Amino acid sequence: MTRPQLARSVAACCAALVALGPAAACSGGILGNRGGDTTCADFLSQDEEAQRETIRVYLEEREGNEPINLEIATTRVIIVGYCTTFARDSDPIRSIEG
């Protein structure tokens, strides 16, 4: 591999890491899923699937058992409402507990 080819390959790898890094972090990939410690800002930036997984981890932490889909869906509606109205971006989603 010539020097220019190597430089292009390294640049392409760096660009891919920069592009994919935030997506992996938001979905719980790099940073891990923080469950109830997830901030409202982080939660609202997640896609629906990642939000459901964050809520599943949070409810499992709180209740000690695997939540059912209805409980996850209901809690998601409550958290989205809370985070978009009353909460600050830095508030953890577990703040819905009162």
How many domains are there within the chain?
2
**Residues 42 and 59 both lie in one domain:** yes
**Would you call 32 helix, strand, or coil by DSSP?**
coil
Is residue 48 located within the same domain as residue 77?
Answer: yes
| Residues 26 and 45 occupy one common structural domain | no
Q: Where in the sequence is the domain holding 55, given as residue range(s)? A: 33-98
**What tokens appear for 37 in the block?**
């410690």
- Tally helices (H) and strands (E) across the chain: 4, 0
pLDDT at 22: 44
The residue among 8 and 73 whose pLDDT is bigger is: 73
pLDDT surpassing 90 at residue 27: no
Q: Do 78 and 90 fall within a single domain?
A: yes
Q: Is 15 exposed, middle or buried (0-12, 13-18, 19+ CB in 10 A)?
A: exposed
Give the sign of the dihedral formed by CA 59, CA 45, CA 42, CA 27.
positive
Contact (Cβ atoms closer than 8 angstroms) between residue 96 and residue 79: yes
Report field, pTM of the whole predicted structure over 0.85: no
Sorting pLDDT into bands at 50, 70 and 90, what band is 19?
Answer: very low
